[in-house]
Amino acid sequence: MLKNVKKEEWAANLLQQVNTTVFLDYEIKMIGREFMDDVMNLQHIVYESLENKEIFHPNTLKDNVTILDAGGHILGVFFERQLIAFRIVDIPGLERPNLGRDLNFDEEELKKVAIFDTTVVHPDFRGHGLQKKTLLKSREILLDQNYRHGLATVSPNNLYSVRNLLKAGFVIRQLKKKYGEIDDEIDGKLRYILYMDMQQTLPKKYKHIVHIKNHQVEKQKMFLNNGYEGFEIPIYRGIHDFTVAYGKV
Ligand SMILES: CC(C)(COP(=O)(O)OP(=O)(O)OC[C@H]1O[C@@H](n2cnc3c(N)ncnc32)[C@H](O)[C@@H]1OP(=O)(O)O)[C@@H](O)C(=O)NCCC(=O)NCCS
């Protein structure tokens, strides 16, 4: 387990191999409760490494067990038998909070929703496209299980995550506060709600394209409320400073 290995020793040893290996020789596999300690340890390492904690909403152990029990899945990425990244996918159905409700889905469509929940990559293993690779693997699994609607929330101050989701075929559909103690929009964290029709593979053609900065919240909301969707990051200067391209199909 990561916690039990001295970080410097572990990282130095593995990094030497990563740096001398052009192709990172990792394995992606579905994992269950038996890896929950490793999942929670890795989440802790990633959370502690974040300068701005607001961009990440950590799951509790209970959240993860509920997700597995409800038919969701967790993909673990292993290098030298160490967990270096994971992705959690939730199938909320009608019983639990379902982001499809934010997009006004009816009951039939809510049943076809999969939430692309927490995803982390250990800071020493970033830059190998693991977020996108696990996303595409989860999409394959979900299509086999006949789910259609992929949904996710990402902070508008998290360039890397927004960029990876857009590159994988998600689009920004809403911008609002989520995960509040009281209710959405009152005391929550500001989040993009992203959507992907997992059965749709044809690229879309956008018209009336406008570029809006990530921190221009009201302007983005105005365009989103008028049928625009965010589809690309054409300009970026840093994790909190980028531009989103919005357009109409
Ligand atoms: C978002 C995240 C999973 C992306 O990791 P990843 O899949 O390894 O990222 P990519 O392979 O797309 O990285 C592309 C480039 O961005 C850089 N990068 C990625 N994440 C970065 C970060 N958080 N800070 C600085 N640079 C980062 C990579 O080093 C790479 O740079 P390079 O092209 O010079 O090599 C990872 O940054 C992370 O774990 N962040 C914290 C948790 C989080 O925000 N999760 C998403 C919300 S649930």
Question: CB of 198 within 8 A of CB of 143?
Answer: yes
How far is the centre of ligand 1, averaged over its atoms, from the C-alpha of 60 (Å)? Answer: 22
- Is residue 206, in this structure, part of any structural domain at all? no
Nearest Cα to 129, choosing from 24, 7, 249?
24
The DSSP code sequence of 165-189 is HHHTT-EEEEEEEES-SS-TTTSSE
pLDDT at 22: 53
- Residues having CB closer than 6 A to ligand 1 are 46, 55-56, 118-121, 126-131, 154, 158, 160-161, 164, 239
How far is the centre of ligand 1, averaged over its atoms, from the C-alpha of 226 (Å)? Answer: 31
Question: Hey, which of 121, 166, 193, 242 would you mutate to test ligand 1's pocket, going by the most ligand atoms within 8 Å of its Cβ?
Answer: 121
- Is residue 241, in this structure, part of any structural domain at all? no
Ligand 1, atom nearest to 117 Cα: 48
pLDDT at 4: 45
| Residue nearest (by alpha carbon) to ligand 1 atom 33 | 127
The SS3 assignment for 222 reads helix
Q: How many whole angstroms separate alpha carbon 44 and alpha carbon 122?
A: 10
Q: What is the DSSP letter of 55?
A: G
- Is residue 86, in this structure, part of any structural domain at all? yes
Ligand 1, atom nearest to 49 Cα: 41
- Is residue 246, in this structure, part of any structural domain at all? no
pLDDT at 242: 98
| 130-144 vs 159-167: helix crossing angle, rounded to 10 | 40
- Is residue 214, in this structure, part of any structural domain at all? no
Q: Which amino acid is at 208?
A: H
Ligand 1, atom nearest to 164 Cα: 12
- Is residue 126, in this structure, part of any structural domain at all? yes
Ligand 1, atom nearest to 57 Cα: 48
- Is residue 135, in this structure, part of any structural domain at all? yes
pLDDT at 188: 87
Ligand 1, atom nearest to 118 Cα: 48
pLDDT tens digits for the chain (249 residues)? 444 445 556 666 665 555 544 577 899 999 999 999 999 999 999 999 999 999 999 999 999 999 999 999 999 999 999 999 999 999 999 989 999 999 999 999 999 999 999 999 999 999 999 999 999 999 999 999 999 999 999 999 999 999 999 999 999 999 999 988 777 767 789 999 999 999 987 889 999 999 999 999 999 999 999 999 999 999 999 999 999 999 999
Question: CB of 198 within 8 A of CB of 144?
Answer: no
- Is residue 232, in this structure, part of any structural domain at all? no
pLDDT at 11: 60
Main-chain dihedrals φ then ψ at residue 65, nearest 5 degrees: -65, -40
pLDDT at 3: 45
| Residue nearest (by alpha carbon) to ligand 1 atom 16 | 127
Q: 77: domain range?
A: 2-201
What CATH number is associated with residue 54?
Answer: 3.40.630.30
Domain count, the chain: 1
